[in-house]
């Protein structure tokens, strides 16, 4: 039998306060688990520690009366900081078996475990300390009020430091994983969105992150005296795409952006932070996260490490973005040069590219596949560069011989592009070769049918004919929209892939917006309307 009377406090309770001198912050309490089958032990422990604080945080005492009940509580509360465990409960070694289960079966190495016993002879101190992974071993007669409170300081300090080390390790792992993830992203807009998400995730590693509101944020590029919003989460998501968000942001948030821009470094405030990035070309990117709460030194160190990696990635992504934009502009200029030679409209290739991109996404292609089609489609008529002017710009109907010459442009374009091993030019060669093939097999040059025609060729065919019919050409006037739609209804399943035609109709409003955005500044004077529909 246990002698519960041996558990006693010999002195009065001194008025000891928290190490923290500042007022209690709204932080979660330290969880203390008391495991003892004597109610008196629980009552006295609560009394002694009722006003106790450590690092500005009070205690939450969880009482259990057996090893089995304690184990269940530990499974529900893996964040318990300290366990005060009696040795003798339902069995003479119940507490020792519980310690073994906590360390080995539950895998909890953070919790500080203190064994308390009223019968030290049944579990000798030296034997227990050497055989079990505990942090202290106390005879209940030793634990006066002062010593119990002192014990709380030492165990909670230890738990806090271990938690900080684990948080640091997890944080560094997250920095590495986050950095490797964002380095894989090539689109600047997707990149900034990913950085925003990873930074928010990194902040959520903070010890008290769950205690604060859900963090939300946005990423911007500096444009003149304003900001262009590239990405946003939470309450800032509606701002994406805005080119001047001055009147849409809370004044403290906007002022924080301005301060980071002036001082050219990260800025930390009570409820938000701003990360600052500047490329070698002088382009400035900023990420603002709100509702982050008070960030400790570890949080800031992890953020600084992350931002150092992101700065390198921003530079690489910016250079790649510049290269891709230059490449795209070169493709547009080449496509427009071909169109200009055949006296076509200047923005036709841009509209075909954008409409093709839209239809590709709606058809279920990936962002990468749709982007390649968008980049390649402006070269769909590159082969016209090898067609004589007299044939290319003839305002009247072509003769059979002239039509044969005209059809050669798909082969010329294909041969010019097919030798490249670049994905965009490879796709351009396919589109150039197949965008005049018909779904029913009556197109040219090879009479391909149905899905024998590459999806990019089928999509570009729809985009090309739709835009061509809507524009004045040297051989025809622009068609009215109703007439264009009627042609597509008639040629659905004949000239055109029926599914792509359906996508055109389903997304007609967006297609018309693209045409409006890239409308021509001028139109060549129409001559006649004698060529058949679908002619190049």
Helices (H), 389-519: 389-392, 400-407, 409-417, 423-434, 455-469, 481-491, 498-506, 508-517
Cα-Cα-Cα-Cα torsion 344, 349, 355, 357, nearest 10 degrees, comes to 160
Q: Is 117 left (phi over 0), alpha (psi -120 to 50) or beta?
A: beta
Instruction: Look at residue 88 in the predicted model and tell me its pLDDT.
Output: 86
Burial class (CB in 10 A: 0-12, 13-18, 19+), 212: middle
Instruction: Look at residue 400 in the predicted model and tell me its pLDDT.
Output: 86
Q: Which residue has the higher pLDDT, 93 or 465?
A: 465
pTM strictly above 0.95: no
Contact 472, 524 (CB under 8 A): yes
Q: Which residue has the higher pLDDT, 453 or 391?
A: 453
HEC secondary structure over 162-220 = HHHHHHHHHHHHHHHHHHHHHHCCCCHHHHHHHHHHHHHHHHCCCCCHHHCCCCEEEEE
Nearest C-alpha neighbor of 324 from the set 186, 517, 514, 180: 186
Instruction: Look at residue 236 in the predicted model and tell me its pLDDT.
Output: 81
How many C-beta atoms lie closer than 10 Å to residue 402's C-beta? 17
Give me the DSSP letters along 47-113. Answer: HHTTT-EETTEEEEEEEESSHHHHHHHHHH-TT--EEEEES-SSSTTHHHHHHHIIIIIS---SSEE
Cα(29)–Cα(61) distance, integer angstroms = 9
In the three-class reduction of DSSP (H, G, I as helix; E, B as strand; rest coil), residue 529 is classed as coil
Q: Which entry of 362, 374, 384, 476 is annotated as an active-site residue? A: 384
362 is catalytic: no
Position 109 confidence tier, pLDDT thresholds 50, 70, 90: confident
Residues whose CB falls within 8 Å of the CB of residue 227, separated by 6 or more in sequence, listed in order: 220, 221, 244, 245, 246, 257, 286
pLDDT digits (tens, 9 = 90+) for 415-446: 988 888 888 889 999 999 999 999 999 999 99
Buried b (16+ CB within 10 A) or exposed e, 349-384: bbbbbbbbbbbbbbbebeeebbbbbbbbbbbbbbbb
Cα(436)–Cα(196) distance, integer angstroms = 44
Contact 342, 392 (CB under 8 A): yes
Instruction: Look at residue 208 in the predicted model and tell me its pLDDT.
Output: 43
Say if residue 427 is preceded by a cis peptide, omega within 30 of 0: no
Instruction: Look at residue 358 in the predicted model and tell me its pLDDT.
Output: 96
- Mean pLDDT check: name the lowest of 5-19, 185-199, 323-337: 5-19
Mean pLDDT (the chain, rounded): 78
Position 529 confidence tier, pLDDT thresholds 50, 70, 90: very low
Residue 14 has pLDDT above 50, yes or no: no
Sign of CA dihedral 261, 267, 273, 276: positive
Q: Is 534 left (phi over 0), alpha (psi -120 to 50) or beta?
A: left
Helices (H), 264-408: 297-341, 348-362, 367-376, 389-392, 400-407
Nearest C-alpha neighbor of 260 from the set 234, 296, 287: 287
Residue 516 has pLDDT above 70, yes or no: yes
Instruction: Look at residue 4 in the predicted model and tell me its pLDDT.
Output: 39
pLDDT digits (tens, 9 = 90+) for 330-339: 666 666 656 6
Instruction: Look at residue 387 in the predicted model and tell me its pLDDT.
Output: 80
Element (H, E) at 290: strand 284-290
Residue 212 has pLDDT above 60, yes or no: no
Residues whose CB falls within 8 Å of the CB of residue 388, separated by 6 or more in sequence, listed in order: 405
pLDDT digits (tens, 9 = 90+) for 213-236: 456 788 888 888 888 887 787 778
Give pairs for 322-326: CB < 8 Å, separation 24+. 322/281, 324/186
Contact 492, 470 (CB under 8 A): no
Instruction: Look at residue 354 in the predicted model and tell me its pLDDT.
Output: 93
What are the backbone angles phi and psi of residue 393, rounded to the nearest 5°?
Answer: -110, 20
Q: Which residue has the higher pLDDT, 340 or 235?
A: 235
Residue 352 has pLDDT above 60, yes or no: yes
Contact 318, 188 (CB under 8 A): yes
Q: Which residue has the higher pLDDT, 533 or 340?
A: 340
Cα(271)–Cα(286) distance, integer angstroms = 17
Nearest C-alpha neighbor of 335 from the set 479, 497, 518: 518
Nearest C-alpha neighbor of 24 from the set 6, 3, 64, 51: 51
The pLDDT of 12-27, averaged and rounded, is: 39
């Amino acid at each position: 039998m246990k002698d519960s009377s041996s558990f006693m406090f010999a002195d009065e309770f001194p008025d000891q306060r928290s190490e923290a001198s500042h007022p209690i912050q709204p932080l979660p309490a330290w969880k203390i688990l008391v495991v003892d089958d004597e109610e008196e032990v629980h009552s006295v422990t609560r009394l002694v520690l009722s006003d106790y604080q450590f690092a500005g945080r009070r205690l939450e005492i969880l009482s259990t009366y057996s090893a089995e009940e304690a184990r269940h509580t530990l499974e529900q509360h893996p964040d318990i900081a300290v366990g005060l465990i009696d040795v003798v409960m339902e069995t003479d070694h119940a507490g020792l078996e519980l310690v073994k289960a906590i360390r080995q079966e539950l895998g909890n190495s953070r919790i500080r475990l203190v064994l308390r016993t009223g019968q030290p002879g049944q579990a000798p101190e030296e034997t227990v300390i050497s055989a079990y992974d505990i942090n202290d071993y106390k005879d209940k007669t030793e634990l006066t009020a002062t010593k119990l409170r002192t014990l709380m300081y030492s165990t909670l300090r230890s738990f806090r430091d271990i938690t900080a080390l684990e948080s640091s390790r997890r944080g560094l792992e997250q920095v590495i994983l986050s950095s490797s993830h964002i380095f894989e992203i090539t689109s600047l807009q997707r990149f900034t969105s990913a950085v925003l998400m990873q930074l928010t995730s990194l902040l959520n590693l903070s010890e008290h992150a769950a205690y604060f509101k859900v963090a939300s944020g946005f990423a911007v590029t500096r444009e003149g005296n304003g900001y262009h919003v590239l990405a946003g989460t939470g309450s800032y998501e509606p701002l994406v795409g805005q080119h001047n968000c001055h009147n849409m942001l809370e004044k403290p948030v906007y002022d924080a952006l301005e301060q980071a821009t002036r001082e050219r470094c990260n800025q930390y405030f009570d409820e938000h932070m701003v990360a600052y990035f500047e490329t070698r070309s002088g382009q400035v990117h900023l990420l603002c996260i709100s509702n982050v709460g008070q960030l400790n030194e570890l949080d800031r160190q992890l953020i600084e490490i992350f931002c150092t990696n992101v700065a390198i990635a921003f530079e690489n992504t910016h250079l790649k973005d510049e290269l891709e934009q230059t490449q795209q502009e070169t493709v547009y200029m080449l496509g427009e040069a071909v169109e200009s030679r055949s006296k076509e409209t200047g923005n036709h290739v841009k509209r075909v590219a954008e409409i093709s991109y839209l239809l590709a996404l709606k058809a279920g292609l990936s962002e990468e596949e749709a982007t390649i089609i968008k980049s390649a489609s402006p070269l769909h008529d590159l082969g016209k560069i090898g067609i004589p002017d007299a044939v290319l710009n003839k305002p009247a109907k072509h003769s059979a011989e002239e039509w044969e010459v005209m059809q050669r442009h798909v082969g010329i374009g294909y041969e010019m592009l097919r030798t490249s091993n670049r994905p965009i030019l490879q796709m351009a060669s396919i589109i150039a070769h197949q965008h005049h093939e018909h779904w029913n097999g009556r197109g040219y040059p090879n009479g391909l049918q149905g899905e024998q025609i590459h999806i990019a060729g089928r999509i570009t065919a729809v985009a090309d004919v739709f835009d061509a019919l809507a524009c004045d050409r040297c051989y025809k006037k622009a068609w009215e929209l109703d007439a264009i739609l009627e042609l597509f209804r008639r040629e659905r399943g004949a000239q055109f892939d029926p599914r792509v035609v359906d996508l055109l109709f389903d997304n007609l409003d967006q297609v018309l917006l693209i045409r409006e955005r890239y409308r021509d500044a001028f139109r060549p004077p129409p001559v006649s309307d004698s060529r058949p529909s679908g002619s190049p």
